[in-house]
Amino acid sequence: MSDAAQRRLLVLASSALLLMASGCLAERQGRTEGVVNDAEPASAQDLAGSDDATLGTDVDWPDDADWPDAEESDAGAVPCNVSDCALAQGPCQAAGACNDDGACSYPSLPNGTPCDDGDDSTTGDICLGGVCNGQPAVVSPPDTCVPCDGCPIAVIELEQPDDVAPQTVLAFDGSSSFGNSAISTYSWTVEQPAGSQSVLTPFSTSALVWFEANVAGVYTFKLNVHDLQGRLSCAASRVVTVTPVAALHIELTWDTPSDPDQTDTTPLGALASVGTDLDLHFLHPAGADYDANEDGISEGWFHPNYDTYWANVAPAGWVPATNPATQPPSLDRDDTDGAGPENLNFAAPTAGFSYRVGVHSWEDHGFGNSIAMVRIYLDGALAYEAATELANHDMWTVATIDWPSGVITPAADCVAGACDPDITIGYWPSQF
């Protein structure tokens, strides 16, 4: 297949094509991933670190007296020898002793002692009341479910409303789940919009979890719980919709097939990013004559005053001297280690202007090509989306947006819905 054919731009219908693997993070000479121009959303790290004591899944084990004594026996009239009693009678009994009344006595191991129930399909085996209890290794929330008699009920509580803006940190609490005995395990899952690769923090098995909802769209969260008898609940479900609030919202996500984990994040101080670094660009028409790569052709990208991107997240050059109250656009999220998103919000575009949207592959960090996806939202509604494959240092001119009409014109030659994207290969700005 030719290089041009491989880069064929796909102008997509509302259903997204991207199948993204898992996520990741990265560094770039002082840049760190995440919110870059928005003081509002608290980071998951902030929340998680604020009260570590609430994050665990400590189980409040019942007293031994709550459980039947497995060693109780009516064999008192039968004499025994110590050697007859020495071997433990099960994985949750200690070695036995011969009592004064002639019966063997096998003390139960403490509740919570790890054990092996002999069943390879279970996990997390622990002793309860002298019996080894395993739990199903995989929890698959059923689509429809009727709680069995005595089974626990999973309950999801959410601090935020069910319709939120992008980059909202959702705080879920499953600790109100209940049953005939205490809840012993939690298992959360999430179905995300195409392109979203956020993860449940700190663990998908915590009673309390946080989730950064950065990509616009519909998310479905589910929770299953087990009780101490190992009985499984039906899944509780909660749907959250993320809707952009700015007049103009632009979102960049990307899929890097050769990155084995697209959800990981680059540790602080690491020398290399753990994922690819693509960048969203948004150009004011006054910057169109700038030639950053000095090839004699003006593309406008990387203009020091008129291109909104990671080094220029809220360009002051967009604010006219005649109206200093004007708010420039704002790049609210930069991602340097795979997946994205990068989010740009613009509350008040200027009538009569035509803005340009671009994507630059800054550095693939050895993970190879990525499929970049750009979605443009007008007043919260998806108005345009396009995807294309980008190699390292490719500069993709995506489209122009006319204001106030909202007309979006792809910067591509399209025939019958298939488009050749406008890509400059090996684009590198001279100021870096």
Applying CB under 5 A, does 291 fall inside the site for Ca ion? Answer: yes
What's the CA gap between 383 and 246, in Å, rounded? 13
Applying CB under 5 A, does 275 fall inside the site for Ca ion? Answer: yes
Q: Which residues of 296-329 are buried (b: 16+ CB within 10 A; e: fewer)?
A: eeebbbbbeebbbbbbbbebebbeeeeeeeeebb
Applying CB under 5 A, does 246 fall inside the site for Ca ion? Answer: no
Give residue for tokens 């790890």: 114
Tokens of 255: 């899929």
Q: Considering beta carbons, is residue 190 or 234 the nearer one to Ca ion? A: 190
Q: Which residues of 242-277 are buried (b: 16+ CB within 10 A; e: fewer)?
A: bbbebbbbbbbbbbbeebeebbbbbeeeeeebbbbb
| Smallest separation (angstroms) from Ca ion to the CB of 284 | 17
Applying CB under 5 A, among 277, 332, 363, 364 the residue interacting with Ca ion is: 277
Applying CB under 5 A, does 101 fall inside the site for Ca ion? Answer: no
What's the CA gap between 208 and 57, in Å, rounded? 9
Q: Considering beta carbons, is residue 381 or 425 the nearer one to Ca ion? A: 425
Q: Please tell me what DSSP assigns to residue 148.
A: P
Applying CB under 5 A, does 274 fall inside the site for Ca ion? Answer: yes
Applying CB under 5 A, does 293 fall inside the site for Ca ion? Answer: yes
Nearest to 23 by CA among 319, 333, 254: 254
Applying CB under 5 A, does 339 fall inside the site for Ca ion? Answer: yes
| Smallest separation (angstroms) from Ca ion to the CB of 71 | 52
Q: Considering beta carbons, is residue 249 or 365 the nearer one to Ca ion? A: 365
| Smallest separation (angstroms) from Ca ion to the CB of 244 | 19
What's the CA gap between 139 and 187, in Å, rounded? 7
Q: Kind and range of the H or E element at 361? A: strand 354-363
Applying CB under 5 A, does 92 fall inside the site for Ca ion? Answer: no
Applying CB under 5 A, does 24 fall inside the site for Ca ion? Answer: yes
Residues in the chain: 432
Applying CB under 5 A, among 138, 297, 316, 351 the residue interacting with Ca ion is: 297
Applying CB under 5 A, does 335 fall inside the site for Ca ion? Answer: yes
| Contact yes or no for 14/377 (Cβ under 8 A) | no
Rounded to the nearest angstrom, the gap between the alpha carbon of residue 212 and the centroid of all alpha carbons in its chain is: 6
Q: Considering beta carbons, is residue 255 or 299 the nearer one to Ca ion? A: 299
| Contact yes or no for 420/408 (Cβ under 8 A) | no
Applying CB under 5 A, does 25 fall inside the site for Ca ion? Answer: yes
| Smallest separation (angstroms) from Ca ion to the CB of 355 | 19
| Smallest separation (angstroms) from Ca ion to the CB of 366 | 11
Q: Considering beta carbons, is residue 131 or 395 the nearer one to Ca ion? A: 395
Phi-psi region at 89: left, alpha or beta (left = phi > 0; alpha = psi -120 to 50): alpha
* Total binding residues toward Ca ion, as defined by CB under 5 A: 19
| Smallest separation (angstroms) from Ca ion to the CB of 417 | 29
Subset of residues 176 to 235 that bind Ca ion, contact rule: CB under 5 A? none
| Contact yes or no for 185/225 (Cβ under 8 A) | yes
Q: Which listed range, 1-9, 271-279, 370-378, 399-407, lies at the site for Ca ion (CB under 5 A)?
A: 271-279
| Smallest separation (angstroms) from Ca ion to the CB of 114 | 33
| Contact yes or no for 89/127 (Cβ under 8 A) | no
Q: Which listed range, 18-26, 66-74, 95-103, 141-149, lies at the site for Ca ion (CB under 5 A)?
A: 18-26
Q: Considering beta carbons, is residue 297 or 415 the nearer one to Ca ion? A: 297
Task: Please give the single-letter amino acid code of residue 28.
Answer: R
Q: Which listed range, 25-33, 121-129, 217-225, 226-234, lies at the site for Ca ion (CB under 5 A)?
A: 25-33
| Contact yes or no for 85/103 (Cβ under 8 A) | no
Q: Considering beta carbons, is residue 195 or 275 the nearer one to Ca ion? A: 275
Applying CB under 5 A, among 212, 264, 332, 422 the residue interacting with Ca ion is: 264
Residue nearest to Ca ion (CB): 24
Contact positions vs Ca ion (CB under 5 A): 24-25, 259, 261, 264, 274-275, 277, 279, 291, 293, 295, 297, 299, 334-335, 337-339
